[in-house]
Amino acid sequence: MNSKVNALKALYTALGGDSASVLHANSVISVLNGILALGSVDGCQFVPDAIKAIADNLSNIDPSPPKESQNKTVTPTTSEQTITADSGKVLGTVTVEAVTAAIDTNITAENIKDGITILGVVGTYDGQ
C-alpha cells in the first residue's frame, strides 16, 4: 500500500479515528490546520512549516484506496434478486444467464399449444 496512505492511516488512528478507514483525509487536514492556527499548546511550540507540509501532502492523496473488481454470474429465478459486490470489492461485469425452460417444470411441449415456442420448447398440445 502507498506509504502516504499508511501515514494517513497512522495519523488518523493517532487522532482517534478508525484505523481501517482512510476516507477522512479532510478531517485530518482540518485537525492539522487547527493545530497550525494554535501555534502552541501548554508551552509546546508547533513547527508551522512541518504541519503545513503534512496537511498539503494529505490533500494530494486520493483517500479512497483502489478496490478489487469482481465479476458475478446470476442464475435467473422467479423472484427478484439484488446483486451486490462482496465486502471491499466493486462490481465489474454481471452476467445474467439465459432464461431456459428449466426455470419451470411445466414448460413442456405437451403443455404448449401446437406450433408455439416458449423458451425454446416447441408446443405439441392440440387442444384435446
Give SS3 for 112. Answer: coil
* Same-domain pairing of 12 and 44: yes
**Mean pLDDT across the stretch 45-71?**
67
* Same-domain pairing of 35 and 55: yes
What's residue 86's pLDDT?
A: 87
Domains identified in the chain, total number: 3
* Same-domain pairing of 7 and 53: yes
Question: Which pLDDT band holds residue 1 (cuts at 50, 70, 90)?
Answer: very low
CA distance 4 to 110: 68
* Same-domain pairing of 108 and 92: no
* Same-domain pairing of 15 and 42: yes
CA distance 52 to 58: 10
* Same-domain pairing of 108 and 90: no
What's residue 35's pLDDT?
A: 63
Question: Which pLDDT band holds residue 112 (cuts at 50, 70, 90)?
Answer: very high
Cα→Cα distances 51→11, 17, 39, 47, 66, Å: 12, 19, 10, 6, 27
Question: What burial class does residue 8 get, using C-beta atoms within 10 Å of its C-beta: 0-12 exposed, 13-18 middle, 19+ buried?
Answer: buried
Among 23, 28, 22, smallest CA distance to 6 is for: 22
* Same-domain pairing of 74 and 44: no
The four Cα atoms 35, 38, 41, 46 give a dihedral, to 10 degrees, of 60
* Same-domain pairing of 23 and 11: yes
Domain region containing 125 = 101-128
